[in-house]
Structure 1
Amino acid sequence: MPHACPASSAPSFHPQPSRIGASTTPELPGATAVAGIILAAGAASRFGSDKRRALLPDGTPLLVAVGQSFSRVFARTAVVLPPDDVFGLELCARLGLEAVPNARCREGQGTSLAAGMQWSLAQPGLEAVVVGLADMPWVHEDTLAALRDALVRFPGEPAMPLWRDRPGNPRGIPRSCFASLAQASGAQAAAHRIDWDAARTVAVDDPGIVRDVDTPADLESGGEDAHALL
């Protein structure tokens, strides 16, 4: 049973859609107190190689696409990487992202979430984070901005996106949850520590929140239904 950071039962948050081409840089007062975190230290065993380098149809590497989206929405973004990851380190340097190594990445996604939360606890003035996955490149920047804004407008409440009433990723996590999640291990750690059924829901017009890349064929088909939620 989830035992940390329960959110009060609350109505959905329906953000106004952004204008096409509009900037998604922080605008709400307090938006800079929300950072992004990308979990990018997985083994990609089903893909057969480092899928973070795999090319989308437009030629953009998977992790580059995700990193660019986060960098345009959040004032700060951390990327959790395997140790000695030259590709990831170069990407972070190029995009102005902060690299967070996870020496325990082989133990499961929970350890990467813990590494991200430990980074979050060390950031002065950080009140919340939006945690995304490196294999979900189709998430809209408007969705990231809507989650960011929900965390600002409803402080202390976790935030979860919904597309056609289906929950997905990324997820918004308030500071009150950081310490508990910093001790996470194994897989799907946040599912056991946050009561997502009581979280603030954010309705989005974005099927990308339920699509991820598990096999090379997913790159051409637009992904498959995501099987792992935070």
Structure 2
Amino acid sequence: MACRTCRGRCPGVSGVAAIILAAGASRRMGSSKPMLPWDGTTLISWELAQLQDSCAEEILIVIGNRSEAVRRSLGEAAKYTVFNQRWPQGRATSLAAAARSMIERGLRPDAIVVQNVDQPTRADIVDHLVSELRSSGAEIVQPSYRGKSGHPVVLAGALLEELAAVKEETLGLRAVVDSHPPRIIEMDDAVVRIDLDTPDLLAEARSILGIRG
């Protein structure tokens, strides 16, 4: 996976892993978010391509609802998927499943990018946040836009075990962020606030990113 600017490795970074959480039921959208039409492909395939174009060296896509359909839509890229059988119990179970998968595979990344499938981002944003994490020595970095927190969240690899232990009833990723106050990176880019909860927000997000359906 080659980073556009640093040939597979952002400056000062070793072992960047990225997680896409794509297991949910997409109830408010009314259709499967991972398979939404997005710039001539599906949303999940577009997000995967962005991460492949970033400094991420390992990518995990956590699936649950309509898992076989999502796998088929990914084709050969289905190799990146991790199935979370507990997905109906909440997003935290998917994050924990991804972290446990990394631990079981012996992966010890220096930085972990956590991205929700309904919050698409670009490769350059991922690269910038990872670089900020390493240069600042922070445990967590999070972008903001006009003073409002955004995504994705990037965490130091030392927090991997904490991610593996998150639970929905104790606020999941939010509990980790609250325990390790993040370095906030103010960005002049509305992309970090995109959230595809409804069809109206989907249209707005496509406009912000210049994406066709």
Q: Per-residue CA shift, 1:64-98, capped at 9, x if unaligned? A: 22111111111211111117722333455534762
Q: Give, in angstroms, the shift of residue 103 of structure 1.
A: 0.6
Counterparts of 2:186 and 2:108 in 1: how far apart (Å)?
A: 28
Paired residue total:
201
Partner of 1:164: 146
Q: Tell me which amino acid in the other structure corresponds to 2:50.
A: S
* Structure with more helix by fraction: 2
Q: Give, in angstroms, the shift of residue 164 of structure 1.
A: 2.3
Partner of 1:63: 44
Q: 2:76 aligns with which of 94, 103, 117?
A: 94
Partner of 1:127: 110
Q: Give, in angstroms, the shift of residue 107 of structure 1.
A: 0.2
Matched-pair contact (CA < 8 Å) for 2:35–2:70: no
Alpha-carbon spacing, 1:97–1:202, altered in 2? closer, same or farther (3 Å): farther
Partner of 1:180: 162
Matched-pair contact (CA < 8 Å) for 1:158–1:199: yes
Task: Compute the TM-score of the two structures, normalised by the length of structure 2.
Answer: 0.81
Q: 2:85 aligns with which of 103, 106, 109?
A: 103
Matched-pair contact (CA < 8 Å) for 1:143–1:204: no
Q: Tell me which amino acid in the other structure corresponds to 2:101.
A: W
Q: Give, in angstroms, the shift of residue 209 of structure 1.
A: 1.4
Counterparts of 2:91 and 2:117 in 1: how far apart (Å)?
A: 12
1:212 corresponds to 2:192: no
SS at 1:184 equivalent = coil
Q: Tell me which amino acid in the other structure corresponds to 2:102.
A: S
Counterparts of 2:18 and 2:181 in 1: how far apart (Å)?
A: 22
Matched-pair contact (CA < 8 Å) for 2:20–2:60: yes
Q: Per-residue CA shift, 1:14-66, capped at 9, x if unaligned? A: xxxxxxxx54653435534111110000111111121211113x333111221
Give structure 2 stretches of 5+ with no counterpart: 207-213
Q: Which has the higher contact order (CA 8 A, sep 6+)?
A: 1
RMSD of aligned residue pairs (Cα, Å): 2.6
Matched-pair contact (CA < 8 Å) for 1:79–1:92: no
Identity of aligned residues (%): 26
Q: Per-residue CA shift, 1:173-211, capped at 9, x if unaligned? A: 122222122122227411122237831222323211111
Q: Give, in angstroms, the shift of residue 161 of structure 1.
A: 0.9
